[in-house]
Chain A
Amino acid sequence: MSGVNIGFWNSVRREISRMGSRPLYLIMMVFIPLGCALFFISLMSSGLPLKTPVGIVDYDHSQLSREVTRNLNSTELLEICSKDESFHAAMEKVRQGDIFGFFVIPIDFQEDAMAGRKPALEFYSNMTYFVPGTLSFKGFKTIAVTTSAGVMRSELSYVGLTPGQIGALLQPVVITTHGIGNPWLNYSYYLTPSFSFATFALMIMLFTAYSITEEIKSGSSVQWLAVAKDRISVALAGKLLPQSVIFIVVMLCAVAIMFRFLHFPMNGSLLMFSLAVVIFVLASQAFGVLVCSALPNPRLAFSVISLLSVLTFSFAGFSFPVEDMYGAIGIFSYLMPVRYLFLIYVNTALNGFDTYFVRYYYVILLAFIPAGYMLVWRLKKACLKPVYVP
């Protein structure tokens, strides 16, 4: 065996014995990432938060107003938790967080509706919480419009129109909106994978930086390089490859749980997606190496990685589209590997596009790997003369 080969295997052996030496490695590489993935899966297992707690203020107390109340309560989006006597009482409940919206039926509602005096049904949705606010709005709007249509239907049938004519009168144009790939509006399908991947990215990068800078902090980096015959590339390969294997296995586990056991939509090829996951792990490690090479100090490297990773949850555009961000902020999303994995996920798993349409994302993910090792000569210098700055 050549010297380089021996150096590599000795480095691998050294790294594996380090991994076995303390629980921190297991916690960081397995428990935290997998635990976070399971957390997201379990938290949002129902997919869409139905039964938004809402209130009703009925000033009319008529047959029609009671019917409206029943209709409200029968939609899956709403659950009437409180019936209040006034607007102010309902508002108080909103302020106390008991309800996320309320519906107001005005005084003399039935009478005015039948007489054609156009009473107004009012509803209030608390948008300080986006999801319950939106869902309560949707439920209220549906009931308000159908109530209105119901009144009109009976009026028009008095003048002798057929049901077909009435339908065309009430809704002359029907615009049906189809959500492709996620017709259930399942929040979990797009939040759980993306947030889990971003957590993986955070932990992989932090751990890579930890395992390298820890050597510098404790001064063992000299010995680390010596084992690899003073070749930084061999030393890094010996250190990072065992970690890559563990991260890839853990991440594919999470992917299997989501797409095989829990049947998250996978309209593309699971094999190609798994390949993207493998490249993503290597790309994230390379990113960690790049930061360590630029800043061979544990605190500074961790700071940069944490800062970028935590912001990635926002600027990678998992919830707010990158196209609508300010240009100067939006470009940051393209600097992080997880953005490309996210794009591959939504475009293949949800939209079902062929790999052809996401080919560039694969290429860019791959490009992160060599880019991460650009500054290793700096890292080598730091490892040979380890200086620890707290």
Chain B
Amino acid sequence: MKWFVDIARVFRREMSLIVSDMGVMIFFILLPLAYPIVYTLIYNPEVVRKVPVAVVDDSRTPESRELVRQASAAPAFGLYGYATDMAEAKRWWADRDVYAVMHIPSDYAKDIARGEQANVTMYCDMSLLLRYRALLSAMTSLQIKLAEDITEQRIDLYAGSMSGMAGLPVETDNHFLGDTQQGFASFVIPGIVVLILQQSMLLGIGMLGGTSRERRRANGGVDPLEIQDASTFSTVWGKALAYIVFYIVPTMFLLRYIPVIFNLPHHGDPVDYLLFIFPMVVASAFLGQALVALIKEREYVFLYIVFTSVVFLFLSGLTWPRYAMSPFWTAVGDLVPATHGVEGFIRINGNAASLYDNKEPFMALWILSGVYFLLAMLVTWWLRRPGRASAKASAQRSPSMAADTMPPA
């Protein structure tokens, strides 16, 4: 029963260390609270609207004006103005007044009247693919709409026998799953919240570990605020439990309330996604303790962990799909709990998948929990190994340092 009591003692001590450390509280509370809100506000306009477009109309006919009117009806198309020629349009583009130029050739109306194919050219700025994508899909819809309108008239003209037929013989019907409005926030935020969950844990745990290592150095290899007689096993578990318990509220907030507050897609059953995310929280609690091996001083978490957020975001496959990654990067991504967490949570949240549908990432998260638990044991044992205390004690620095680096517990 001693190990059980020890876990409880370590748990209590770790909790008080968390609460008394301002830096850790920022990571554990403020970060999961404020960051997703800021992120969602950035992307909340969801779609690109009114991309300014210059029109060079060499046709100058009712048909060409009708084309521009119809194009302007698309939400993505914002008519900036008519340029006299391509040179002027190009100048507007270089001055960043427009992001696309639509060129209507002089024989546009003539071609339509003759029953020939008329050509319109759109030159699109590629500095952001999202703008291009919005304009391209607007132009595709416009092209289909024009085909329906004009073809109907022409069929009547050519073949009276087929006049009953309007438009194309086969209809196409597209549906978007998960993020039905193709909004950017609806796509990116469900992945980001999972990543924030993991990263804020790693940062906070790293900072606690780094502070402990500073105390250890200042006190001859012994951290005075640690439960000395607890075994490595009890220490790792006690700390992990403290982090897991602490994260109940942030997890609920991130996974449940952020989508609800911002009206993002949120279809999954809370039981499914909370059960699913549990092993990710466990794996992160252990991974954080393993990473303490790198964190010599409390501030090192910023140097070693902050930049990984971007790397982990890409490895999770949110921006660049995992099936297109090389086997090496897929394997590296497999080692990050958030990769599986993002995959599974997006499916549950966006596509209403069940826990069973996510059995693969779920199992992967438990395996990672096991691996990182062993790693955390190893690191904790190495930091607390007995030889270290005596070696350090002989080379002890001034004892007054201890008081400086100790948080007011």
Contacts and interface: CB of A to CB of B under 8 A. Distances in A.
A303 B26 contact: yes
Contacts of A298: 299
A128 B178 contact: yes
Given A168-B116, A171-B143, A173-B146, A303 B177 contact: no
B123 A299 contact: no
Contact of A185 (B129, B144, B321, B358): B129
Given A43-B314, A175-B143, A299-B299, A325 B118 contact: no
Interface stretch (A137-145, A222-230, A246-254): A137-145
Interface residue SS majority, chain A:
helix
Interface stretch (B238-246, B304-312, B368-376): B304-312
Interface string A254-272: 0000000000000000000
Nearest to B120: A175
Candidate in A97, A147, A180, A326 with the most chain B CB atoms within 10 angstroms = A97
Interface string A213-224: 100010000000
Nearest to B211: A390
Contacts of A97: 343, 347
A306 interface: yes
Contacts of A89: none
Nearest to A121: B172
Contacts of B206: none
A132 B176 CA distance: 12
Contacts of B116: 164, 168
Contacts of A92: 357
Contact of A314 (B43, B120, B139, B343): B43
A178 B122 contact: yes
B121 A176 contact: yes
A30 interface: no
A170 B116 CA distance: 10
Interface in A294-323: 298-299, 302-303, 305-306, 309-311, 313-315, 317-321
Contacts of B346: 128-129
A346 B42 contact: no
A374 interface: no
B169 A118 contact: yes
A121 B130 contact: no
Interface in A134-190: 134, 137, 140-141, 144-145, 147-149, 151-152, 155-156, 159-161, 164-165, 167-182, 185, 187, 190
Contacts of B307: 32, 36, 199, 202-203
B42 A315 contact: yes
A171 B147 contact: yes
A129 B321 contact: yes
A71 interface: no
A95 B169 contact: no
Interface residues of B, number: 113
B347 A310 contact: no
Interface string A11-40: 000000000000010001000100010011
Given A128-B350, A357-B95, A167 B117 contact: yes
Contacts of B94: 351, 353-354, 357
Contact of B120 (A32, A52, A173): A173
Contact of A123 (B96, B172, B188, B407): B172
Interface residues of A, number: 119
A130 B183 CA distance: 9
A160 B162 CA distance: 12
A178 B178 contact: no
Contacts of A46: 324
Contact of A49 (B21, B146, B324): B324
A383 interface: no
Contacts of B120: 173-176
Interface stretch (B151-159, B226-234, B281-289, B384-392): B151-159
A119 B168 CA distance: 10
B347 A125 contact: no
A125 B116 CA distance: 34
Given A152-B169, A299-B23, A324-B48, A347 B127 contact: yes
A116 interface: yes
Given A46-B324, A120-B173, A390-B298, A321 B48 contact: yes
Nearest to B353: A95
A159 B159 contact: yes
A376 B147 CA distance: 66
B95 A40 contact: no
Nearest to B154: A169
A124 interface: yes
Contacts of A167: 117
Contacts of A302: 299, 302-303
Given A49-B323, A159-B161, A173 B150 contact: yes
Contacts of B168: 145, 148-149, 152, 170
A145 B318 CA distance: 29
Given A141-B174, A165-B115, A317-B128, A94 B351 contact: yes
Contacts of A303: 23, 26, 302
Interface in B323-365: 323-326, 329, 343, 346-347, 349-354, 357-358, 360
B212 to A, nearest CB: 12
Given A180-B123, A325-B45, 8 more contacts: A113-B169, A118-B170, A124-B177, A176-B122, A179-B126, A324-B45, A350-B127, A351-B94
- State the 9 A-B residue pairs at the shortest beta-carbon distance, nearest first: A49-B324, A128-B178, A346-B127, A95-B353, A128-B350, A302-B302, A127-B179, A148-B170, A172-B150
